[in-house]
Every structure is written in structure tokens, then in C-alpha cells.
Structure 1
Amino acid sequence: MNADDFTKEELFSRLLQLEQRVEELEQENKRKDKKIDQLQEQLDQKDERIEELETRLRKYENPHTPPSKRRSGTDESPTSQDHEDENVRTDGGTPGRKDGHDPEWRVTADPDKEIEVTRDCCPECGDHFDESVGVSPRLVEEVPDPQPPEVTQYNRHCYQCDSCGTETVATHPDCPDEGQFGVNVISQAALSRYDHRLPYRKIADRFEQLHGLELSGASAWHATERAARAGRCEYEQIRRQIQQAEIVHVDETGIKREGEQAWIWTFRTSEHTLYAVRESRGSDVPAEVLGEDFAGTVICDGWTAYPAFSSNLQRCWAHLLREAEDAANDHEEAEPVHRYLKQMFVGLQSWLETDPSPRERAQMHRSCQNGLRSLVERSVTDEAVATLLGKIEGGIDHWLTFVGEPAVSPTNNAAENALREPVVLRKIIGTLRNDRGMFVHETILSLLATWRQQGRNPYEELRRVVSNNEMISRAHAVPAVETSG
């Protein structure tokens, strides 16, 4: 059948049908184009989200990120795991006591009093009991109700010497020379701020809720500042102890001062911890705190301030191994470097457990240092691997100090652990306001950390230093002398 077989009406009808079909197809194409545009927009949004997440992930997956902040090493999908335990840790560990660790039991306190709890009749049938057939003891520990503040007026009598004209005001050990708050209030305010991490407004609320003591946030700040001034003498004693130490772990992290960049440094030994807030991150800070004549060993990371201060260093192997592992994950050429470093470190740790002699230590030090020199001399084409080898070469004299000196640790974990508390506080307080804030911050943090290391009670120690400061202030006070014309 050809076109001649159709009438004009039929051809016209067919043409209309074709035009409608074309129009339908065009509409369908428009809908598909719109759908494609929507899908493309969603893909662009997802690409932006992926880039944002990768940027945030780099903060937690780099050579300088400690293992505690890294993602779990498991590759299992969350959807494939059982949901029986909603408290599964995400840091790669498991809750509860670790294998091989002895359990710790809470020591049961001796009762201060005993109360006999009896019953006269059966709760079911009402029949009267003749006597008990046994005792089911239960120890209950409770704190006493908060006590209201005790307000004391000290009528301090004034005297004038008839011989020399000196005016004297009588003193009392419980009466402070400054302010209206006593030793307990000052100590609790400082502890609430730096141990319980409360804002000063919350500290004031706590005193009012528990004791009915009305004070403002500013008063809580001034009480904390008084505690810092009272403890500054002990802070300087801690500094002198650290200056005489044979081994000091040193590290630093950023902190804001009036919104500007500053640094909080930590200096840690086995018994003392000192914090110093400074605007500098250079070698002048350890020179100031430790003294330019410091003769001990500094355990540190690879920051350039440390070799500028001292040549007696131990570079942190935890940083080195993490950096080598990250490089090996991204660059095949770095795999033998990471493998060599890991085998050396693990081998040295096992060998040191045999308690080698000083001569054996010296021989092992030379052997391992030669091995590191051979490692950094290898030819590589990848820039990242070359950078890693350059860092190893830059610290070639400082990686193996722990081999020759038994008391030196190969990692700087002690200083990194000491910085955790200041980092948490940094997230809460945001910025230090001025020099007074820096003074209080470094002083109280140092005292609390040192007392914890030594197993001392921070509250009792704060009360001690505040009380002692009042007595010392009175002992060194110069009385006013009035002379007649």
C-alpha cells in the first residue's frame, strides 16, 4: 500500500497522529533531561560532601595523629555487625578489662554505725514473727547533706607600740588577709575549674545550690586566681626539680590568647609535670624553662625548636613509625622503608629486655645507626618517600639514644598524655583572656598534674598551699610605721 491508496482525510489523520507522537516524545525527552539535571545536581552535592569529609578525615589520619584519635582498623561494614551491644567502641578497642590484667575491686569501707532493721509480722498472712532466723547485711555509703556556709566575723584588734610608734593588726590563721572567702571556698573554686572543668558561672551556681553561698562568676575567678598565686611558689619548685632531671619529655600544642595564637608547653618527668603558656614556639621556651645549661636528655618529636636547644635528644619513634606506615599505604616505594624501621624497632625492644651490658649497647647503637644511614642513602623516585628519608636523615643522631641509655624511652607518649587535659580545657574555654589568665592556667594545671603523679589528694594539697600562703604573707609583711613630726 502506498500514499495513493489513502484518501486526503486519512493522510491528514495520520499526520496529526505523527505530530502528537512527536510532541509526546519531546515531552518525554524534556522530563528525562530534567531528571538528568536533578541527578547531576545530586552527584555534584555528593562530590562536595565527599571532598569535605576527606578534608576532615585528613585531620585524623596523618603521621602526627596519635592512635587514640585514629579510626578503627576494622574493615567490617556497620550493617554487617550485630546490634546487640550499642556501646561498642569505635577506636578499635573493646570495652572492659584487657586480657592479662588483674581485675580491680572496690575496697569495702568499715561501717561508722549499725542500724538493726526488723519486722513484726509476715507481709503475706500477717502472722506474728517470734524472732529472726538470720541477718542479711547491706553496706550503704552516703555523703552528708551539704552544709550552709559558716560566716565568722574576725574582730582584728589594732595596736600601736608606745616605744616606736609601729601600728599592728592582730592576725588569725583562719582569717585571710585578702577577700571574704576562706581556704575551702578558694580550693573548691580552683578544683571545680581545673579538675571538673566547670565555667565560672557554673561554679557560682554550684556553691549556691549546695551551700547557699552567693557569689558571682567573677568572684569564682578571683578565688581561682588567689589559689594560683598561693601555689606559684610550689610551681617554681616543680620547675627547679625538672631542671635537675636527667630525662624530660617535652611537647607543645596551640592555644589562643586574646584570640591570637599562643602555645602551651609541657615538661614532664616521672614525678613532676610543668606547663608553660608562651607566645613563642621556638627554642627560647625550653631554654627559659629548663635553663640554657640543662644537661639532661630531652625526649621530643621532630619540631626544629628541640635540636636548636639541645643536641642530647631522643626523637619519638611513634611519630616515625606512623609517618612511615602512612607513606607505605600510599606509595609502594615506601613499603620496604616502613618494614625495615618496624623490624628494627621491634627487634630492639626485644633485645633490650635481655638487659645488655653498656658495651653491648654501644655496639648495637653503632650497628643500627649504620643501618639507618644505609636506609637513607637508597635511591628513590617518589617525592613523598624522599621526604620521609630526609626526615630520618635529619634526626640520624637522635633516633637511637634509648639504645645506649637504659632510662630513656623511645617514644614521647608521656608528654602527649600530659597534653590531653589542656587540650580538653582548650575546647571548653576557647581562649585565655590576658597574662593573668595565662598565669592561672599554667600554675593550677601544673600543680594538679604533679600531685596526681605523686598520688596526693588535689583538694587537700590546694588547701595546704592556700593556708601556707596566708601564713607566709603575714610572716613577710612589713608593718606600717607612723612617725610624728
Structure 2
Amino acid sequence: MDWDDLSKDELLSRFLQMEERINELEEKLEEKDERIEELETRLRKYENPHTPPSKRRSGTDESPTSQDDEDDDVRTDGGTPGRKDGHDPEWRSTADPDEEVEVTCDCCPECGQHFDESEGVSPRLVEEIPDPQPPEITQYNRHCYQCDSCGTETVATHPNCPDEGQFGVNVIAQSALSRYDYRLPYRKIADRFEQLHGLELSGASAWHATERAARAGRCEYEQIRRQIQQTDVVHIDETGIKRDGEQAWIWTFTTENHTLYAVRESRGSDVPAEVLGEDFAGTVICDGWTAYPAFSDNLQRCWAHILREAEDVAEKQPEGKPIYDSLRQLYVALQTRLESDLTIRKRAELQRVARRELESLVERPVPDGPVATLLGKIEGGLDHWLTFVGEPAVSPTNNAAENALREPVVLRKLIGTLRNDRGMFVHETVLSLLATWRQQGRNPYDELKRVSRDNEMVSRAQAVPAVESSE
């Protein structure tokens, strides 16, 4: 186009058109910038060293799990991924039949020829559950008495008649399991009772039944806490949860046989001090959160966290690659060495050698940036990275606590927020009971019924007035 041949009006029109187009492009560019910023924010949430691999590796084509380099697939729990080669298949155990039914045929379905006798049996086991039963409704006519001697009024009790509410222990147990095992809303729990058993109750009634289960199991919750207080090693971790829309935290304290959850509005060292006691003498396995060294000096910092962080730093800054490689090699070497049955003396020597390796690592001159920050974290935890080398019962990672938090995290996505202190009470109690019972191989449904019955008996025993001595 020859701009010299255009008139002044044509040039002005073309200029206005170009200016309008430029404004449109600038608006689109601004929208794209906002979208890029939003996506980068979401990416940082899932691709940072503090995000567990289970959340970061989503199974996409670019996921690290699709890489062929076996050296990059290092477990931080001391094991190797997948089943071992030659592992025998596992089959479901065969149940013993409760009834045998003879299935016979009189004649050939093709030609109608009559069969004389069977030539063999082809057994097939079929497992079926009975149809849901309707509710059993019992009226307990509790007789009232008054003592002629002291005037005390007494109402007779029955072991199957609760002192409050109109629902029995089976309803209480199933309400709690439906909420915390099946993750159903209380409205759906009420629907389930009506569909399966013809039992009509509201969502509020399902909530009250779950609350009764929590109150019944609170004594056992406190027993779990006392058991954890007496252990030598405990895994601790915490994650956010909402309480009436405000920030709170759910803590987990996990041992080999017990798990306890505590919902608190604090993320400070006062929470482990409250749960474990300020004089707790065991080893705490944890991440790098400042609340833990403020609570105890006897720590084991999680190697899974520091290795993930080192790997992330190596991708951001070239100077971080040799540091990540050194850390990873040291960890693998320690794990390999500890597979043999070392004496306490050899463990102590190995611990001293490993500490010197870490000290030489943090003394490297590096430029400011992520690498310097990483080395600062390693140096700040020098007294806590190698506790597992000297103490055989201590794990080098905090995977146990992170695994224990998975169920509360899933529930957090479903329920959104706990509404009040009662909700916090129920949440931490029922979660703790179910997790501990599973660790111990106990049936949660049977245990919920047990604690509900026991609670009724204890409540009645406490309600009986003591007889004063006449002496």
C-alpha cells in the first residue's frame, strides 16, 4: 500500500482503525497475563519442594513418574517401589459355605434325552449378604421407685436402653462410620437409614448420633494420648483446616500402634506441649516447622522434605545440582549401611562420619539465592538430620504422619469447615479412634458399639449416689 496516495481523511481513518486494533490486542494481552499469573500460582502450589510426590505427580505425560531413569526413582522410606520380582500372587481366601444346594438337571437341553445320573459336580461358591432388616422398636417401661427410708427417687435401667435419645448403639455406630468412613453428608446418612432399614431420622439426628459416639469414645481418646505420651518415638505433622471459616490446624501424633488427632487454633509449640506433655522425653520425627525445635531438642528432621527441596533448588540454580547429588548419595549410603545389624558403637561412628559430610557440604561457597537458603536449612538442622543413624527405632522420614493426614485432608475437601467447638471435638475424637483401631487390627464398627455401651454403664455408675458411712 502506498501511503502517499491516501488522502488526509483516509490516513486519519486508517490511523483510528490501527489504534482500535492496538487497544484490542492490549486488552487480550492483559487477559493472557492475568491467566498466566493464575496458572503459575496454581503450579507453585503443586510443584514445590514441600508438596508430597503423591500430589505433585498427577500421572500426566510430563510427570516425573514417567521417566525411564531408575536412578531418579529413589524411595525415602528405605524401600524400593513396587513388588519384588517373583512375588507370589495373592488370592482372596475361600469362605466355608453355610449351606449347600444341589443343582440338578433331568434332561438334555438340546435333544431332551433323559439323564440317568450325574457324572460329577462343578461347585461354585456364591457370597451374598442378607437383605437389610427393618428397625427393631422396643418400648422400655422404666419403673420409678421412691425409697421410704431416705426419699431417694430411682428410675430402673436396662443395658440396652440409653439414658438419652431414642436410638441404640447400632444407629450411633453406623452414623459415625457413615460420616467418617464413607464420608457422607448427614442428610445422606439419614437417607441411607431410610432406604436400607426404613428408619426415619433427620440429618440433625444423624449429627447428634455421631456426637454421642464421640462423647462415648472420649475416654478412649484420652487413653490413646496417654499411650503416645509414653512412647519413645512419635511422628508429628499438621495441616490447615477451617473453624467457622477461620484458620485452624489439625495435628496428628502417630506411633506404631496409635494415632491421635488434635484440632487447634494454634500452629505453635504449645500444641505438642499440651498433647504430649512438656516433659516428653521421646524422639519427635517432624518436618522443618519451627514449632518442633521450640518444643524439643530430640528431633529427627524428615529427609523426604529436604531431598525434595534440594531437587527443586537444583532445577532453579546450577550450583544446587552437586549439593542435591551429595545429599542423595549420603542418604542412600546411610540406608544401605544400616541394613546390616550394626552395633551401637558402629552406629555412633557412622553418625559422626555422616555429620562431617554434612558439615563439609554446608561450608561450600555458593552465591546468594535458593542454594544458600537450602544450605542454611541443612546447617540449622545439623543436630537433627542423623538421629535415625544412632537410634534404630527412629525413621529418617515423616511419611507415617503424612500418611495419617491423608484422611483428614480428604474430609477437609468435603466438609469445608468445622462450625464450632463441638464440631472440632467430634472431628478429632472419631478420627483418632478409627485410625488407632485400624492400626491395631480391630473392627471399627464393633469398637464403636463397645464404647457406646461402656459409656452408658459408666454414666450410670457415676450417677449412683455414694452411701455415706455411719461411723
- Whether 1:269 aligns to 2:255 is yes
Q: What is the aligned partner in structure 1 of residue 341 from structure 2?
A: 355
Question: Given the alignment, which residue of 296, 303, 310 partners 1:324?
Answer: 310
Q: What is the aligned partner in structure 2 of residue 85 from structure 1?
A: none
CA distance in 2, matches of 1:207, 1:328: 55
Question: Given the alignment, which residue of 142, 151, 157 partners 1:165?
Answer: 151
> Which amino acid is 2:418 matched to?
L
> Which amino acid is 1:312 matched to?
N
CA distance in 2, matches of 1:414, 1:197: 22
Q: What is the aligned partner in structure 1 of residue 54 from structure 2?
A: 68
- Shift of residue 137 of structure 1? 1.4
- Shift of residue 68 of structure 1? 0.8
Q: What is the aligned partner in structure 2 of residue 58 from structure 1?
A: 44
Question: Given the alignment, which residue of 201, 211, 215 partners 1:225?
Answer: 211
Question: Given the alignment, which residue of 423, 442, 450 partners 2:428?
Answer: 442
- Whether 1:294 aligns to 2:280 is yes
**TM-score after normalising by structure 2:** 0.88
- Whether 1:152 aligns to 2:138 is yes
Q: What is the aligned partner in structure 1 of residue 321 from structure 2?
A: 335
Q: Is the 8 A contact 1:146 1:210 kept in 2?
A: yes
Q: What is the aligned partner in structure 1 of residue 413 from structure 2?
A: 427
Q: What is the aligned partner in structure 2 of residue 370 from structure 1?
A: 356
Number of aligned residue pairs: give it.
Answer: 447
Root-mean-square deviation (Å): 2.7
CA distance in 2, matches of 1:362, 1:330: 36
- Whether 1:250 aligns to 2:232 is no
Q: Show CA shifts across 1:192-224 (max 9, x none).
A: 001111110000000000000000000000000
CA distance in 2, matches of 1:75, 1:129: 60
Q: What is the aligned partner in structure 1 of residue 271 from structure 2?
A: 285
Q: Show CA shifts across 1:385-443 (max 9, x none).
A: 11111111111110010111011000000000000000000001111111111110000
- Shift of residue 476 of structure 1? 1.3
Deviates more, 1:113-122 or 1:200-209: 113-122
- Shift of residue 38 of structure 1? 7.0
> Which amino acid is 1:230 matched to?
A
- Shift of residue 29 of structure 1? 11
CA distance in 1, matches of 2:60, 2:245: 39
Q: Is the 8 A contact 1:380 1:386 kept in 2?
A: yes
Say if 1:412 and 1:96 are closer, same or farther in 2 by CA, change over 3 A. Answer: closer
Question: Given the alignment, which residue of 255, 277, 301 partners 1:315?
Answer: 301
- Whether 1:179 aligns to 2:195 is no
Q: What is the aligned partner in structure 2 of residue 12 from structure 1?
A: none
3-state SS of paired residue (1:332): coil
Q: What is the aligned partner in structure 1 of residue 90 from structure 2?
A: 104
CA distance in 1, matches of 2:251, 2:311: 28
CA distance in 2, matches of 1:387, 1:266: 28
- Whether 1:467 aligns to 2:467 is no
> Which amino acid is 2:233 matched to?
I
Q: Is the 8 A contact 1:230 1:466 kept in 2?
A: yes
- Shift of residue 133 of structure 1? 2.4
**TM-score after normalising by structure 1:** 0.86
Question: Given the alignment, which residue of 191, 199, 213 partners 2:185?
Answer: 199
Question: Given the alignment, which residue of 383, 391, 398 partners 2:369?
Answer: 383
Q: What is the aligned partner in structure 2 of residue 409 from structure 1?
A: 395
Q: Structure 1 stretches of 5 or more lacking a match?
A: 1-17, 78-94
Say if 1:330 and 1:19 are closer, same or farther in 2 by CA, change over 3 A. Answer: closer
> Which amino acid is 1:174 matched to?
N
Quick check: which has more Rg, 1 or 2? 1
CA distance in 2, matches of 1:251, 1:349: 23
3-state SS of paired residue (2:236): strand
CA distance in 1, matches of 2:59, 2:146: 77
Say if 1:204 and 1:120 are closer, same or farther in 2 by CA, change over 3 A. Answer: same
Q: What is the aligned partner in structure 1 of residue 116 from structure 2?
A: 130
3-state SS of paired residue (1:164): coil
3-state SS of paired residue (1:148): coil
3-state SS of paired residue (2:241): strand
- Shift of residue 311 of structure 1? 0.2
Q: Structure 2 stretches of 5 or more lacking a match?
A: 64-80
Say if 1:120 and 1:30 are closer, same or farther in 2 by CA, change over 3 A. Answer: farther
Say if 1:196 and 1:76 are closer, same or farther in 2 by CA, change over 3 A. Answer: closer
- Shift of residue 74 of structure 1? 7.9
Matched residues, percent identical?
80
Q: What is the aligned partner in structure 2 of residue 120 from structure 1?
A: 106
- Shift of residue 240 of structure 1? 0.3
Q: What is the aligned partner in structure 2 of residue 86 from structure 1?
A: none
